[in-house]
Amino acid sequence: MILTFFDQFSSPYLFGVPLILLSTLLPTLLLPTPSTRWITNRLSTLQSCLIHTITKQLMIPLNNPGHKWALILTSLLMFLLMVNLLGLLPYTFTPTTQLSMNMALAFPLWLATLLTGLRNQPTTSLGHLLPEGTPTPLIPALIVIETISLLIRPLALGVRLTANLTAGHLLIQLISTATITLLPTMTTLSALTATVLLLLTILEMAVAIIQAYVFVLLLSLYLQENI
């Protein structure tokens, strides 16, 4: 069977059963179980400090009603971090390279923020569709443009995460293939390519972290507009 570069983005199967659900739930097993003791091990302490820092950064722009979303946003960020980083390991599958999964995360949460604003402050939420001081002839066109920009927000969230992770995985596979191909004939060039591959892997780890943070940060900004 001839494999292509894009076969790494297809969900693996075992006895005809797709393993995307297992690859999605597995990262949660790596988190240490909370303990009732005041003093725990170093891993649990590091986890608590990380979650506290992330939650603090996400909640700074929001007022008190928005703090009800702290558990959802922090859990989503930890989930995306674990899935993105574990997908960089060899012989693993990254569920967040699937646009369908990213849209399944982005659309319900975006819709929840929108409905929250329409329920709590409908006038202010609808007022975002028309900037203040707009000339009268431009009002219909601006309403259409602002409505379209509002409706494509979940699509932009999903496509951004999918495109960045997919591009990084493809670059890693291309450079690793070149490294192995050049090894028997051009050892020096192969070593140079391997160095580039190492640097690219470090960069891709940073991209995985940043994209997870940007995904949740944009959701928190959408929430800020509606509360």
The residue extents of the domains of the chain are 1-30+61-226
Residue 165 and residue 83 in contact, taking contact as beta carbons nearer than 8 Å: no
H-run or E-run covering 118: helix 99-120
Q: What is the CA radius of gyration of the chain?
A: 22
- Lowest-pLDDT range, 13-22, 102-111, 170-179, 191-200? 13-22
Q: Which two tokens stand for residue 201?
A: 């892997």
Q: pLDDT tens digits for 89-117?
A: 877 778 888 888 899 999 999 999 988 88
Task: Return the pLDDT at 210.
Answer: 93
Q: Which two tokens stand for residue 203?
A: 């960069």
Task: Return the pLDDT at 155.
Answer: 92
Task: Return the pLDDT at 216.
Answer: 92
pLDDT at 162 over 80: yes
Task: Return the pLDDT at 157.
Answer: 92
DSSP 39: S
| % pLDDT > 90, the chain | 19
Q: pLDDT tens digits for 111-146?
A: 999 888 888 887 877 777 777 777 778 778 888 888
Task: Return the pLDDT at 69.
Answer: 86
What value does the mean pLDDT take over residues 169-174?
Answer: 87
What is the overall mean pLDDT for the chain?
82
pLDDT at 158 over 70: yes
pLDDT at 164 over 80: yes
Q: pLDDT tens digits for 24-40?
A: 777 677 666 666 666 66
Name which of 32, 8, 12, 10 is nearest 22 in CA terms.
Answer: 12
**pLDDT confidence bin for 6, thresholds 50/70/90:** low
Residue 193 and residue 200 in contact, taking contact as beta carbons nearer than 8 Å: no
Non-local (6+) Cβ contacts of 69 within 8 A are: 62, 220, 223
What value does the mean pLDDT take over residues 66-87?
Answer: 86
Sign of CA pseudo-dihedral 151, 154, 158, 163: positive
Task: Return the pLDDT at 8.
Answer: 64
Task: Return the pLDDT at 161.
Answer: 92
**pLDDT confidence bin for 1, thresholds 50/70/90:** very low
d(C-alpha 47, C-alpha 86), whole Å: 17
Instruction: Go through the chain and tell me how many residues it has.
Output: 227
What value does the mean pLDDT take over residues 158-168?
Answer: 90
